[in-house]
A and B are shown apart, each in its own frame.
Chain A
């Protein structure tokens, strides 16, 4: 059974810092992994989807990497801004090809 873990659970940084969010998964037989953003009390917005054939995917100040052999993905946020404050969730396909979500990292960027 796929299990997805995110560390840290919460993170507070000053504005302008570069930061890394971590995601680990137990079943490495995946063909993609996704990162989502969730604002308080809202639904999820897809940020990046990395196919297993890719090692990285970039969108603006966001860069996600995938290392299937080690069961890890990282989300790198460059030059963080207060507007980046949100919860970030990663999700990997599990049983029946359904998505299995991590618990999320709650990010606070202080001005």
Chain B
């Protein structure tokens, strides 16, 4: 089955902790993206990567970090510097230059 997987589905974090959200794709896509979605709102771009070992900040990158060591994987770390991290996080991928993005099922992060 080709697609994008995200894990875990639900994640709870204590204040002051860093957490890492996983995103894996087997679609052979070059580009990958991380979005944040707050209740009743659209998606906001956190980071994106168009090729291995390269990534760019999106609109709301502060308090987040990413890596892209493999084409298939684009993990997102939510650091303790992120002031309001409770949200739904979505990962997506696409072929280079395409606007057709394929989305994972999402991870809901809650800070206790």
A interface, CB within 8 angstroms of B: 4, 6, 9, 32, 34, 41-46, 49, 89, 91, 93, 96-99, 101-104, 106
The verdict on B18 contacting chain A, using a C-beta distance below 8 Å, is no
Q: Collect the chain A residues with CB atoms within 8 Å of residue B44's CB.
A: 101
Q: Collect the chain B residues with CB atoms within 8 Å of residue A6's CB.
A: 42
- Could you tell me if B103 and A103 are in contact, using CB atoms closer than 8 angstroms? no
The verdict on B85 contacting chain A, using a C-beta distance below 8 Å, is no
Q: Report if A43-B43 is in contact (Cβ < 8 Å); known contacts: A32-B99, A34-B99.
A: no
| Chain A facing B: main interface SS | strand
Task: Kindly supply a per-residue 1/0 record for chain B positions 68-112, scoring 1 wherever the CB is within 8 Å of any chain A CB and 0 otherwise.
Answer: 000000000000000000001010100000011111111010000
Q: Collect the chain B residues with CB atoms within 8 Å of residue A91's CB.
A: 43
Distance in angstroms from B102 CB to nearest chain A CB is 8
> How many positions in chain B have a CB within 8 Å of any CB in the partner chain?
25
B interface, CB within 8 angstroms of A: 4, 6, 33, 35, 40-45, 48, 56, 58, 88, 90, 92, 99-106, 108
Q: Collect the chain A residues with CB atoms within 8 Å of residue B103's CB.
A: 43-45
Sort A-B residue pairs by CB-CB distance and give the 7 closest, nearest first: A101-B42, A43-B103, A44-B103, A101-B43, A103-B42, A43-B105, A102-B42
- Could you tell me if B42 and A104 are in contact, using CB atoms closer than 8 angstroms? yes
Q: Collect the chain A residues with CB atoms within 8 Å of residue B90's CB.
A: 43-44
Q: Collect the chain A residues with CB atoms within 8 Å of residue B101's CB.
A: 44, 46, 99
Separation of A104 and B40 alpha carbons in the complex (Å): 7
Given A43-B90, A103-B40: 9 more A-B contacts, CB < 8 Å = A41-B106, A43-B104, A44-B101, A46-B101, A89-B42, A89-B43, A98-B58, A99-B43, A99-B99
- Could you tell me if A49 and B42 are in contact, using CB atoms closer than 8 angstroms? no
Q: Report if A98-B48 is in contact (Cβ < 8 Å); known contacts: A89-B43, A103-B41.
A: yes
- Could you tell me if B99 and A9 are in contact, using CB atoms closer than 8 angstroms? no
Q: Which residue of chain A is the closest to B41 with respect to CB atoms?
A: A103
Separation of A9 and B105 alpha carbons in the complex (Å): 23
- Report which of B33, B35, B40, B45 forms a contact with A9, defined as CB distance below 8 A: B40
Separation of A49 and B103 alpha carbons in the complex (Å): 15
